[in-house]
Amino acid sequence: VVPGVLGALVLVLLLENRIRGVRLLRSAFALPFAFSVASASVVFAVFYNPASGVLNGLLSHLGLGPVGWLTESRYALFSVALTTVWMNLGYNVLVLSAGIGSIPGEVVEAARIDGASGLRLARSITVPMLGPNLFFLTVVSTVHALQSFGQIHILTKGGPDGSTRTLVYSVYEKAFAYGSSDFGTASAQAVVLLLVVLACTAVQFGVLERKVHYA
């Protein structure tokens, strides 16, 4: 959640600079939004391939040994999380770009007249005015993270050694996978997941929303 939201924020702030080809860059960074979960997972499965993957190819050029991105427990969850961050990046960029576009021009111009620019302008004007958008993305990204399933099923199937078995994937395994029909346990886990989502959302509304500036 944190890398996905903060990464999108950094990209959007950088794209606000008047540079050549900025529209092309915005489209490129928003491109992940067009990918389905299955498509993105298959693409990253190619990247993570231990024999012919792009990432291990880069490591070999640096003189480093191959890494089992999806086959070693210490790397598997990080690899799935990285895939999830990339998948959500496009949507986050779109939402924050729309938020920046809605900031009143006179507010930014007044800040520039007072001498604010660069990091000062971003910290004092842009980021506070993006408060509602950042709050929305934090809540939505948290719910999506807790409900992650497709990328786990395609990339690791909960392995290795259960290192990527989330609560959602455990519900699937108990109820449907490998001929299992333990619907009682799966239903109990689904209720627990609902309570976790409600608790996280309640905490975010109770803590983060107080710091949101609604223009």
The predicted pLDDT at position 132 comes to 92
User: Tell me: the pLDDT tens digits for 99-109?
Assistant: 988 888 888 88
The predicted pLDDT at position 164 comes to 95
The per-residue pLDDT of the chain, averaged, comes to: 89
| Rounded Cα gap, residues 202 and 200, in angstroms | 5
**Which whole number is the average pLDDT over 43-50?**
93
pLDDT-based confidence at residue 1 (cuts at 50, 70, 90):
very high
**Distance, CA of 115 to chain centre:** 34
**DSSP percent split of the chain into helix, strand, coil, nearest 5:** 75, 0, 25
Q: Is the pLDDT of residue 71 over 70?
A: yes
How is domain 2-211 classified at the CATH fold level? Answer: MetI-like fold (1.10.3720)
Q: Is the pLDDT of residue 186 over 70?
A: yes
Q: Is the pLDDT of residue 190 over 80?
A: yes
The predicted pLDDT at position 103 comes to 84
The owner of tokens 């489209």 is 27
Query: Where are the domains positioned within the chain?
Result: 2-211
| Rounded Cα gap, residues 43 and 36, in angstroms | 11
Contact 59, 68 (CB under 8 A): no
* Amino acid sitting at position 197: V
Q: Is the pLDDT of residue 185 over 90?
A: yes
**Which whole number is the average pLDDT over 48-65?**
90
Q: Is the pLDDT of residue 215 over 70?
A: no
**Which whole number is the average pLDDT over 191-215?**
90
The predicted pLDDT at position 139 comes to 95
The predicted pLDDT at position 39 comes to 93
The predicted pLDDT at position 108 comes to 80
* Amino acid sitting at position 10: V
**Which whole number is the average pLDDT over 155-165?**
93
User: Tell me: the pLDDT tens digits for 22-32?
Assistant: 778 777 887 88
Q: Which of 24, 46, 103, 20 is nearest to 112 (CA)?
A: 103
| Rounded Cα gap, residues 173 and 169, in angstroms | 6
Contact 114, 172 (CB under 8 A): no
**Which whole number is the average pLDDT over 101-123?**
82
Q: Is the pLDDT of residue 150 over 90?
A: yes
